[in-house]
Amino acid sequence: MEQVLVTGANGFIGRALCKELLVSGYQVRGAVRSLDQVSSEGRGVQYTAVGSLVQPVDWSLLLKDVDAVIHLAGVAHYLGPQTKEAEARFRDINITATRALAEQAAVAGVRRFIYLSSIKVNGEVTDGRPFSADDPPRPEGIYGQSKLEAEQALSKICDTKGMELVIIRPTLVYGPNVRGNLQRLMGLINRGLPLPLGGIDNRRSMVGLGNLCDLIRTCILHPAAPGHSFLAADGEDVSTPELVRLLARHMGRSPTLLPVPPSLLKVLGVLLRRSEEMQRLTSSLQVDISETKEVLGWMPPVSLDEGLKAMVTGAIGVQATGI
């Protein structure tokens, strides 16, 4: 039976992934910051508290007899100014800690290292042509840059030590208990507030939590997975107004979408110091997952509509309607 170590095991993705791996017959070890964070859903996972990844971690006991490491832990969702302190935190956790884990994993004889990176390595915006796996990286912020540098460090370690490496770059991940912008958007829809999003004409790729977990699970044993950087998405792009309408339908709401020009929304974002959030609402970010499907023989098992329904019913507790 394969033994797998999942870091960030109690996070949004980690909880769902550990559950899927247990159901699939894996022995799962979960690294968390504190055992106080472990949820009741994690029965069957062997949890270990490793503290903050800012400090050096001795992974030797957790890595003993492990076949594959799935490294989810990291810093994300930073919307503040790009200060030296913020950059140092990203480097300490997303780069230095990742490098240290991989080095210790190679010494321990781990067969495969799966790294959850980010589509932000490719960039923030597309203009008519989706990102593909072969595109040169163009990260714009400290988060995307830290993920790219972590990928580069892992490639060097794995090439030198003979450990297999799989990189996955997901788009926006959604699912039950999601937080951030999607949680706020669902709250606004649920309150019936008019939304100034009707004039937006964009296309966004997203990936459902179930689809991402299925892709990660596939990469644990697939013989063709090592050496690839896979882009992860549902394969169904959606505009911001379409997303609002889909969410509202599952929430039993009738949204009011005001046709405000995107240029005005961007000005509003600057005034409210929400430029990055407004960019995500108004711009396009599409990915081409054809290589992911072809190399792995993989198809997203859950449709965008099914995934959004699961998110709505799981996140805010309303009954799904209109199905």
Catalytic residues: 143
Collapsing DSSP to helix, strand or coil, 113 comes out as strand
Q: In this structure, are residues 219 and 167 in contact, taking their beta carbons and an 8 Å threshold? A: no
Q: In this structure, are residues 120 and 139 in contact, taking their beta carbons and an 8 Å threshold? A: yes
The two tokens of residue 45 are 């996972």
Task: Give CA–CA dist 14/164, Å, rounded.
Answer: 21
Cβ-based neighbours of 39, under 8 Å, separated by 6 or more: 10, 15
The two tokens of residue 15 are 């909880």
Q: What distance, in Å, lies between the first and last C-alpha atoms of the chain?
A: 40
Task: Give CA–CA dist 235/307, Å, rounded.
Answer: 12
Task: Give CA–CA dist 214/246, Å, rounded.
Answer: 23
Q: In this structure, are residues 230 and 292 in contact, taking their beta carbons and an 8 Å threshold? A: yes
Q: How many Å is the Cα radius of gyration of the chain?
A: 20
The two tokens of residue 4 are 């797998």
| Nearest of 99, 114, 122 to residue 296 by alpha carbon | 114
Task: Give CA–CA dist 6/27, Å, rounded.
Answer: 11
Task: Give CA–CA dist 281/265, Å, rounded.
Answer: 9
Cβ-based neighbours of 294, under 8 Å, separated by 6 or more: none
Q: In this structure, are residues 72 and 21 in contact, taking their beta carbons and an 8 Å threshold? A: no
